[in-house]
Structure 1
Amino acid sequence: MPPYPVPLGFVFRSRAKEEKAPAADKALVTDSSETRDPQAPKGRPTPKRSVAQAQRRSVAHTPMTRKDAAKRSRQERRAALDRQRQALASGDERYLPARDKGPVRRFARDFIDSRFNIAEFFLPMAVVILILSMVRVPALQNAALLLWLFVIVLIVVDSAWSGFRLKKRLNERFPDESKRGAVAYALMRSLQMRRLRLPKPQVKRGERP
């Protein structure tokens, strides 16, 4: 028997508590000399401003996957087509197709839209002539043929006169700018019915451009 009784708590005391106690004491004594950002993760020092900006830029410029790039490309193409469609209706120069841009092309459109052109009635007259030619009456078929020749001659003469006048006006209005293809562009527009023309006419008939 030992001379002094040994407490049972000393014998059966958990070693885990003995190991945790010094660690807790060290944690209380240790004092970090670095200040911590309130929003930074616990245990990490506040990052420098240059480092944080670099991290934000790296996140912003993270390369997209092929699927994301294709999706963005489709969205941009759809938006460009919408802008172009609205520009064709309103005449907004910023989003018009390349063939319709520029003051020369705009003047050519206004010149054609401001006058009556025989060529714009070509389609309805062609329908009438086709119907007459299908009738089993020789006199009507001959009349349809003569009418067809007459319409073709009128369109050629009127288009030649319009092209001559337009070229003269373009040389007076834009002496230092390229006018290549402007007359042909205007004559092709004159073949279309006024309500079907794109870009939409911006001047009234008889209004001087």
Structure 2
Amino acid sequence: MFRRTKSETATTVPAEPQAKPGGKGRPTPTRKEAEAARKATFKQPRNRKEAAAVRREKVRIERAKMQDAMRTGDDRYLPAAEKGPVRRFARDYVDARWSVMEFALPVLLVVSLVGVVFSAQFLWLAGAVNLLFLVMILAIAADWFLLTWGLKRAAARKFPNDPLKGLGFYAVRRTMQMRRWRMPKPMVKRGEKPS
């Protein structure tokens, strides 16, 4: 009389568990997750002094990455002024050529020292020093013009859609440094064509 038939039991589908009205709405974290979250709260700085130490450590790590990128040329960690394919092309263009500006400072320093030390003994030396200064300044101006003109032409051909503003001054600033002290380090040899 109160017996179930087999067809009734086969058709009944178990109901999906309903969320309790006052439940938390997410599964309970495992013990491993709970302990990791608890330990993470201990790692956070508790006062200003600890927060400053954490900040200093982060800055030190970023600076180390940037210094390494300056040596290797890794574009990801370079400063914003050095990033991008256009700037890399400009660096390669500068590093591949010989430049008067690169040697201007040492030459002018030697010439001025010679002029100061020996001009009292040799009167003609003062005139020669002044003439050499004038020649060096004219050579620097010509080198500056040829560098910026050639670089902008080559960059406009290679990167027609990229902005080239400030590229000439960037190249001149790099050229004024001696090759061994340039940062990022030169990636091409002299006479090699920039990529």
Q: Same fold (TM over 0.5)?
A: yes
Query: Does 2:84 match 1:105?
Result: no
Structure 2: gaps of 5 or more residues: 1-26
Within-5 A mapping of 1:100-139: 100-134=82-116, 135=118, 136=120, 137-139=122-124
CA-CA distance at 1:110 after TM superposition? 0.3
CA-CA distance at 1:51 after TM superposition? 8.1
CA-CA distance at 1:142 after TM superposition? 0.7
Aligned residue number for residue 92 of structure 1? 74
Cα distance in 1, alignment partners of residues 109 and 162 from structure 2: 41
CA-CA distance at 1:55 after TM superposition? 6.8
Query: Does 2:192 match 1:207?
Result: yes
SS in 1 for 2:76: helix
Within-5 A mapping of 1:112-191: 112-134=94-116, 135=118, 136=120, 137-191=122-176
CA-CA distance at 1:59 after TM superposition? 4.6
Aligned residue number for residue 53 of structure 2? 71
Q: What amino acid does structure 1 have at the position aligned with 2:163?
A: S
Aligned residue number for residue 24 of structure 1? none
Structure-2 change in CA distance of 1:56 and 1:128 (3 Å): closer
Q: Deviations over 1:48-88 (max 9, x none)?
A: 83485567535524552222211111111111111111111
Which TM-score applies when normalising by structure 1? 0.72
Cα distance in 1, alignment partners of residues 68 and 39 from structure 2: 36
RMSD: 1.8
**Maintained 8 Å contact 1:132/1:141:** no
Q: What amino acid does structure 1 have at the position aligned with 2:52?
A: A
Q: What amino acid does structure 2 have at the position aligned with 1:117?
A: S
Query: % of aligned pairs identical?
Result: 39
Structure-2 change in CA distance of 1:107 and 1:131 (3 Å): same
Query: Does 2:26 match 1:57?
Result: no
Structure-2 change in CA distance of 1:147 and 1:68 (3 Å): same
Q: Deviations over 1:152-199 (max 9, x none)?
A: 000100110110010011111111112221111001111111111111
